[in-house]
Structure 1
Amino acid sequence: MFHLARSTSEEFGSDVTRYRDNGEPTQGAAHGRDPRSPKEKEDKERGDEEMIKVYDGNSSLRRRIFRVIPVPRQATTEQVLTLALRAFHITKDPSNFYLTDLYAAEEIELCDPTPVLNLNRQEGKRPAVFLRFKNNDSGEVRVYPGKLQVSESFCIVPVTEATTVADLINEALEKFGLQNFNCDDYRCSEILLDRGVCIIARDIRRILYVSVTERVLSWDERPWDIVKKLGKDSIRQMELMRFYLQLKQDPHGPNLALFVGNLPPNLSERSYENMLIEFLGKVMLLPSIEPSMVPSGVQPLLVFVNVKSGGCQGLQLISSFRKLLNPYQVFDLDNGGPLPGLYVFRHIKDYKILVCGGDGTIGWVLQCLDNVGQDSECSSPACAIVPLGTGNDLARVLCWGSGYTGDEDPLNLLRDVIDAEEIILDRWTVVFHPEEKEQTQVVCNAAGAGSTSEDNTQIYVMNNYFGIGVDADLCLDFHNAREENPNKFKSRLRNKGVYVTMGLRKMVRRKPCKDLHKEIRLEVDGKLVELPQVEGIIILNILSWGSGANPWGPDTKEDQFYTPNHWDGMLEVVGVTGVMHLGQIQSGLRTAMRIAQGGHIKIHLNSDIPVQVDGEPWVQSPGDIVVLKSALKATMLKKSKIKRRNTEPSILPANGEGGKSTDE
């Protein structure tokens, strides 16, 4: 059972669209000028809406980062304020905020009943407003208990300009029911999710970036002054700040977890010391999550988001999940990969993982679990999926859908994780033994996808499928095109269109995989299998390939094969006759040619042939390939088809905050 606490903390700018001063997105704007024609501008001016830039503070103005909101021309000031707050995901009382005209000679609160048409304008720029926090003499702040074992997830403390941190600690202890404790044993920290640089760690191979900083406050500081100062600089940053009450475990400040990464091997101890000294100017802290922070019977949720998968929808999900969960639970895979999150959760005995990405992202997370599982309390946490990739074949098999559209309620995604059932996914080891001669192999390999020994043997873990021939050749062309122009492959629909176009080109050009059946020898469970005339073979662990197609096809009573699944210890081998056949399979018009089923497959290549393992393609030189059952298994979560219950879920953030506060 999870326990859900809602938090407004998210990385500032994680879902910010960057714009030039003329109000147009930076991508597509040339040399800072509005690319629209005069007629387009005139047509826009005749419309009923005005596009207005909103800055949330002095910092966003300096950095020229803002958000654009469409506002009806006859909108009232209150309506414009509501839209501006919504653009920055601020749900607090609107009476605490006001707007000013950025281009006005003097910054005063907008009081015009219909201000849109009367905003000052500069040539070539959209009208712009400041979203400001009212400079009241008093207010209230939330204090969170951190690791303290109390029933409340936070308490609200009224503050004035005269309130000190010492006063705040005393009041918070009383509200948490700890008034009999000595106040001198506690400290109050200011935690921000914005600033931060590089983390150093002992057993992590990559440099990590997590935007979290913690500052222990002195007893005479004024909490309300801190809030107001942040609000003037950035209201989003003010929303990201929290006051945490903690025991003084260390008189010098909070405990730190440090990671070291990307260090070259075989250097002297002195050399490593010098490197650390050089890096120490880029150190920041990781959260420390201990089992005592998690109540009995509760499963925390660790969320990984790949912002580069598919249509780059991950930024939206990071923003949403960091509001619904404790931000310490949500990791951007672009900042260090899965290892930092797994390290933070290494002491938690029972938790689940939600992977937001494509099939390659899921494989990446599973591979990191393989590497660090033996050092963690939970070696095989169950993994759910939000499909962000292009193919999403594993997500389809596990009923998570063909692709995240952005319309799904993130809270419902979390409920789906709660309702999902655990299943086992077979995994397979693919071993490549090149012939004993000088190799000319070309490998386009994802980091960490496989390992190579001294005898040039390559070993991969396969989760979905393994292709040889025309399928892998087409996959390789797509992979190379995306590597050359990554900005052209940010749309799932466009990616599929490019893939189809490449297939059509191959139909009219030379066929590098023609007569593949003459270039390979196939053995299944020790028996030689005679191949039909094919240009490619695909070895399936799951019954989804090429964005949802089922090459194996539906059950039939005419053949000798068993009904396949992804936990039976068997692989299915199918053949395809060419690019057209591939297209027909993907369109559902035909199935592939069923060739064999088995648990141990050996293939000999007579020549250089394209291959791909779970979508990672390269050209393999002659030699032997062995596919055998891996000792590694994955526990996956399959989305339930049962109608969701109406009870409220309970998902516990990693730091022990609880409750159902929905008013942040």
Structure 2
Amino acid sequence: MESPSSSATRVTARSSMMDSFRGCSLSGIRIDKEDLKKKLLMPTYIRFAMRDSIRLKDPTAGDSRLPGSHDLVAVPSEENGGEDAVAPEMPMVVFINPKSGGRHGPMLKERLQLLMGEEQVFDLLDVKPHEFVQYGLGCLEHLAELGDKCAKECRQKIRVMVAGGDGTVGWVLGCLSELQKQGREPVPPVGVIPLGTGNDLSRSFGWGGSFPFAWKSAIKKTLYRATTGPICRLDSWNILIQMPDGTVLEPPHSLKLAEECTLDEGLEIQGQLPEKRTCYEGVFYNYFSIGMDAQVAYGFHHLRNEKPYLAQGPISNKLVYSGYSCTQGWFFTPCTSDPSLRGLRNILRIHVKKVNCSEWEQIPVPSSVRAIVALNLHNYGSGRNPWGNLKPDYLEKRGFVEAHADDGLLEIFGLKQGWHASFVMVELISAKHIAQAAAIRLEVRGGEWKNAYMQMDGEPWKQPMDEEFSTLVEIKRVPYQSPMISGD
């Protein structure tokens, strides 16, 4: 766990409207376009080498751009490389998801290409993050091995901005984390241009909660801040789901079929475990939840896919989401009426490992709780802080510690009926505190329930349940942290 001396680099949550605008602007400072280019723009031969490597899916494809090659573009010598080539102060690339939030991506892409070069701006419909990691960064590493000092310096200093929502940011972070597994460090730090609906990752690291109205001028200031912002750390969490073989699951993009299915042994299982099992694995950065909130998110997700005209922007998304949630029984159906709408206590057992403890401990599920959330950031549901800013005496009484995004702990809280959730989301009250945990094990069993609903970082799915066999969900911290650029 990080020492108190690093606390100055931690970024706390902000949810006010003024913070949203401040997240994308620097009042009173005029950013010159040409000066910004000098800070960001890599030499032409490096940009073209990276472009060729990504297009051809070959990290050595950029060799033809080196000095002396007959294919070299005719530009000044310092742009072509060699002894005169100079790396920019803070080389940067940007990923844009044109489908995020209010669909600002195409306009933003054009603006960014004017500011920092076409080759350093990637549309996620054309270039996937793992392609950039494997071939783009691979190209810089290859050129560095050939003795190119400029390429080596660009690789060491490069930063990444992501224009999109939380799901897009998580996608890029997940691909960049592969560098640590492969021993290809350093991992480029990531900043955010908020284009999504919730933008909780963006809020948590000081980049604001919405895309600014005066975006043409604000984007220059955002890029400038990204060159100077300090580096913070973000925990990431691995989730492993074990279910009976033959279970038909439509997993979100964040879950992949796992080759191995190794869970901690020694925990008593209330149901039975099948001989043959199927496992899915994924990583989340903000939250995992199970229950009614995930059910509402799942229904809204499919409604938006069926009727895309409803997704006209963050504000319309939130209005439609709020209206849809009222149709799902969270507000108007008692917990004891329909089996599909009862409290989670009917289907769920929770075990956790608490801070500085290696033993599993069972945590009772409150009978009134209909959604349980394991939260990593301060922000949840478009900038709300359901865990709350707890007083020191309460923390001590409950055995909790102050929550941070890099403390190796998840905050577990419960939401009751929709009325309770509504008061929590407007921060009139805090959620029902359940535990803080360094690891979590959930056992989900069927009975009268046929499906449970789960989600992580805004990606919901329907989890089929078996009457005889248990489904297990295990959450553990990934042993390394993702570097994030602070926008504060």
Judge same fold: TM > 0.5, yes or no. Answer: yes
Counterpart of 2:257 in structure 1: which amino acid? S
Is residue 57 of structure 2 the alignment partner of residue 201 of structure 1?
A: yes
Match of 2:93 in 1: 302
Cα 1:297–1:476 shift into 2, 3 Å? same
Match of 1:504 in 2: 326
Aligned residues of 1:551 and 1:592 also touching (Cα < 8 A): yes
Aligned residues of 1:470 and 1:579 also touching (Cα < 8 A): no
Counterpart of 2:233 in structure 1: which amino acid? I
Is residue 481 of structure 2 the alignment partner of residue 638 of structure 1?
A: no
Matches within 5 A, 1:244-393: 247-250=67-70, 253-254=71-72, 295=86, 298-342=89-133, 343-346=135-138, 347=140, 348-372=155-179, 377-393=184-200
Is residue 304 of structure 2 the alignment partner of residue 482 of structure 1?
A: yes
TM-score, length of structure 2 as denominator length: 0.71
Is residue 411 of structure 2 the alignment partner of residue 572 of structure 1?
A: yes
Partners of 1:459 and 1:291 in 2: how far apart? Answer: 45
Aligned residues of 1:429 and 1:460 also touching (Cα < 8 A): yes
Partner SS, residue 351 of structure 2: strand
Cα 1:603–1:376 shift into 2, 3 Å? closer
1:470 positional shift = 0.9
Which of 615, 619, 642 is equivalent to 2:458? 615
Is residue 366 of structure 2 the alignment partner of residue 546 of structure 1?
A: no
Q: Which has the higher contact order (CA 8 A, sep 6+)?
A: 2
Which of 583, 600, 606 is equivalent to 2:445? 606
Partner SS, residue 356 of structure 1: strand
Partner SS, residue 220 of structure 2: helix
Partner SS, residue 369 of structure 1: helix
Partners of 1:565 and 1:145 in 2: how far apart? Answer: 39
Greater C-alpha radius of gyration? 1
Report the aligned-residue RMSD.
3.3
1:618 positional shift = 1.0
Is residue 230 of structure 2 the alignment partner of residue 417 of structure 1?
A: no
Partners of 2:113 and 2:304 in 1: how far apart? Answer: 30
Which of 211, 214, 235 is equivalent to 1:404? 211
1:494 positional shift = 0.7
1:333 positional shift = 1.0
Aligned residues of 1:574 and 1:592 also touching (Cα < 8 A): yes
Partner SS, residue 173 of structure 2: helix
Aligned residues of 2:310 and 2:320 also touching (Cα < 8 A): no
Counterpart of 1:531 in structure 2: which amino acid? V
Deviations 1:402-448, CA, capped at 9 Å, x for gaps: 111241321111122123221110111111111x45424x32412x5
Match of 2:30 in 1: none
Match of 1:456 in 2: 278
Matches within 5 A, 1:25-424: 146-147=44-45, 199-201=55-57, 247-250=67-70, 253-254=71-72, 295=86, 298-342=89-133, 343-346=135-138, 347=140, 348-372=155-179, 377-408=184-215, 409=217, 410-424=219-233
Partners of 1:291 and 1:489 in 2: how far apart? Answer: 50
Match of 2:149 in 1: none
Match of 1:184 in 2: none
Aligned residues of 2:246 and 2:278 also touching (Cα < 8 A): no
1:615 positional shift = 1.1
Match of 1:626 in 2: 474
Partner SS, residue 474 of structure 1: helix
Is residue 297 of structure 2 the alignment partner of residue 491 of structure 1?
A: no
Partner SS, residue 157 of structure 2: coil
Aligned residues of 1:387 and 1:403 also touching (Cα < 8 A): yes
Deviations 1:101-133, CA, capped at 9 Å, x for gaps: xxxxxxxxxxxxxxxxxxxxxxxxxxxxxxxxx
Cα 1:369–1:528 shift into 2, 3 Å? same
1:3 positional shift = 6.5
Counterpart of 2:37 in structure 1: which amino acid? A
Counterpart of 2:195 in structure 1: which amino acid? L
TM-score, length of structure 1 as denominator length: 0.53
Counterpart of 2:457 in structure 1: which amino acid? D
Match of 1:5 in 2: 37
Match of 1:43 in 2: none
Aligned residues of 1:369 and 1:379 also touching (Cα < 8 A): no
Deviations 1:264-283, CA, capped at 9 Å, x for gaps: xxxxxxxxxxxxxxxxxxxx
Counterpart of 1:453 in structure 2: which amino acid? E
Partners of 1:467 and 1:354 in 2: how far apart? Answer: 27
Match of 1:439 in 2: 247
1:462 positional shift = 1.2
1:381 positional shift = 0.8
Deviations 1:386-412, CA, capped at 9 Å, x for gaps: 110001111111111111124132111
Partners of 2:293 and 2:158 in 1: how far apart? Answer: 37
Counterpart of 1:249 in structure 2: which amino acid? S
Partner SS, residue 468 of structure 1: strand
Q: Identity over aligned residues, as a percent?
A: 27
Match of 1:37 in 2: none
Partners of 1:449 and 1:398 in 2: how far apart? Answer: 25
Moved more, 290-299 or 328-337: 290-299
Cα 1:513–1:290 shift into 2, 3 Å? farther
Match of 1:83 in 2: none
Aligned residues of 1:444 and 1:616 also touching (Cα < 8 A): no
Partner SS, residue 433 of structure 2: strand
Counterpart of 1:451 in structure 2: which amino acid? L
Partners of 1:477 and 1:293 in 2: how far apart? Answer: 58
Cα 1:497–1:373 shift into 2, 3 Å? same
Deviations 1:309-360, CA, capped at 9 Å, x for gaps: 0001112221111111122111111213223433323322221111111000
Deviations 1:45-74, CA, capped at 9 Å, x for gaps: xxxxxxxxxxxxxxxxxxxxxxxxxxxxxx
Match of 1:122 in 2: none
Match of 2:21 in 1: none
Match of 1:590 in 2: 429
Counterpart of 2:485 in structure 1: which amino acid? L
Counterpart of 1:427 in structure 2: which amino acid? S
Is residue 289 of structure 2 the alignment partner of residue 467 of structure 1?
A: yes
Partners of 1:602 and 1:487 in 2: how far apart? Answer: 39
Partners of 2:288 and 2:305 in 1: how far apart? Answer: 21
1:625 positional shift = 0.9
1:600 positional shift = 1.2
Partners of 2:176 and 2:303 in 1: how far apart? Answer: 30
Cα 1:444–1:486 shift into 2, 3 Å? farther
Which 5+ residue runs of structure 1 have no aligned equivalent? 10-143, 149-188, 204-215, 217-244, 256-287, 641-664
Cα 1:501–1:324 shift into 2, 3 Å? same
Counterpart of 1:201 in structure 2: which amino acid? K
Partners of 1:324 and 1:378 in 2: how far apart? Answer: 28
Match of 2:26 in 1: none
Partners of 2:293 and 2:207 in 1: how far apart? Answer: 25
